[in-house]
A and B are shown apart, each in its own frame.
Chain A
Amino acid sequence: MVEAVALAKSYGPRRVLDDVTFSVNEGEVAGLLGPNGAGKTTTLSILATLRAPDCGSVRIAGFDSRVNPGAIRRKLGFVPQAIALYPSLTPFENLDLFARIQGLGGRQARDACRQALEDVGLAERANDAVSVLSGGMQRRLNLACAMVHHPTVLLLDEPTVGVDPQSREKILQTIRGLAATGVAAVYSTHYMEEVERLCDRVLLIDQGRLVASGTVAELIALAGQHHRMDITFQRTPPPSWCEGIAEVSKPTVAAAGNRVTLHFASLAQVSELLERARLAGGHVLEFSVHSANLSDAFMALTGHALRDPDAGPLSVAS
């Protein structure tokens, strides 16, 4: 349904996409995962025919984006990162506008709007001004506007940014439901857990390059089976404090100096590591243990974190 071949794009001297190739099948949800500035939004813009690639090609529903962008647009539903709605209009009026722009008319448009509002759980707020809706409701309406005309391909650019868990759940359910009807979706996000829950396939992108693609399990496997432990000391022990323990990596010290990260093979080694730290004179303030996930896979593939180290753990729920 979606084929991107050797996409490349530069903004001036800066290369934002380089040889990106992937495809998304009918009924499949592909997660485009990468840190900020990785090229996710540019990729979606090219797919949505908003920008032309410097080279490479895009085919959606059998149409080449260079040759017939109009035909592609009629098949597309696009959820931009921003809440692309008219705040002074009601949800129904917003939906009606976008439905009619897509060619739906009269009763067909009205029915489609009511259905879309039902799908995202906003039927009761259909006649309130968008500006008085909560952020989560606005995000849901943002999604509804993209699907009001029943597209065959859905492009979603971080559609859950800043929403409450309830709205996020509704959005993810709605996308899943659309995929079940055969819609191909490209879901851009840097929320790892959303990808793990929603996507059939993951496209890891970093610095404009597609570094890996596959199912969640395939990508985690690429990161190996080691666990990771982060320890925050009040008083840091000497660097050699964990030497001699089998299958434990050399600890890396964070810039702050009192936080170290190390990898180890078995959860059973946790107590030993803490004891060794205590004996070495380290006063542990806090520690956390992480099993391998997409973030680790990303780290393993790119050598740097999916999110900034200071941004905290990716998700408390993981």
Chain B
Amino acid sequence: MSIPFAVADMASGTLYTYAGNFRAFKALIAAEYSGAQVRVVNGPPEFVFGETNKSEEFRKKFPLGKVPAFETSDNKSIFESNAIAHYIGNDQLRGETALDQALVIQWISFADHEILPSACTWVFPCLGIMQYNKQATDRAKEDITNALNVLNNHLLTRTYLVGERITQADISVCCNLFFLYEHVLDPAFRKSFENVNRWFTTLVNQPQFKKVIGDFKLCEKMAQFDAKKFSEFMGKESKGGKKESKPPKEGKSLKEGKKEKEPQKKEEVEELDETEKALAEEHKKKDPFDDFPKGTFGMDAFKRVYSNEDEQKSIAYFWENFDKENYSIWYSEYKYPEELSLVFMSCNLISGMFQRLDKMRKNAFGSVCLFGEDHNSTISGIWIWRGHQLAFELSPDWRVDYESYTWTKLDADAENTKKLVNEYLAWEGDFGGKKFNQGKIFK
């Protein structure tokens, strides 16, 4: 039963978020009900999570630097998802009477305080994005059970949370329950909450919800803590030695010691944001390289030849098959050679970087070499990957190390490129006078 709205009353503006953010969904679903004109900015080049929202320009409008953030068409700024949803929504969603409005706020607060924190404690370890702590998880399960009981009793005699129509209370509580219903509330667990199930399924099947969240699939098997995923996640999460001390960077972190201590507190606060981001990315793990044409160069085939044949053969194979239209060759050099101390530490630096770039393996190849000896060494390498842009910018996961290197794109036809590439593939040659110590292959 849609009520016609005067166009002049409708909210309009721009919503900044990362894709798949359940907080942004609260506002986007509200917009589906109200018909508000919302332009969503959630991807490069306009929005890069962790960069755009940390920029000075963004923080001038939204001091927290968090998303979702909304800018009205007459340049007013609103942050906090529920406030944005309130603005974007309509009278039906906000509640028609003062009492209904109060009840809507009541349930929204309930969702943020009674559900969300425990939901994170329970679900995030299962996704490998947070350490598992049995006590904390058990406590969270108990809290969720209590919250679901409250909802279940309330919904026994009611179809929706407030009044007899869908309001923002339904939308916001439902959005905070998404990852519980997706990952851990399996049929056995949710059996005791049939009223909540009925309400939840009805909501996620409304066309206005479906347009924003797509088809929702209820959990079939309760997810458990995934230690392997977690260690992978920690690998790519650790930045600037926050969670993992990386010996080769010791020199650097000493120098930056002061600078690093300060943001630590802030980083912890932001951790939840980062974690939620990782959660959103769970849904669509798309290979960033998919945007570039596949070309004719078979990365796998080349790697096989390189591993199994001697260098002469594999180098010839490389130049015969390399597809310069769709692949590029890069030269990298470590920016802080004066900080490199012992050789084995430098080697750890390289293998650490390789590990963090794991997801690039299908589309990239690299040979990185260490020259010199203890306390007097340099690192440089040759990289080949699909596409012509600096690949590390394609995914936030790959940005940990690359800024410590200078990157030069090489002309695939030039003679000196050929010489350079051949030297790095063979680990043999004059390397411009540098003394080869050892090399590592990213394949």
Q: Do A and B come from one complex?
A: no
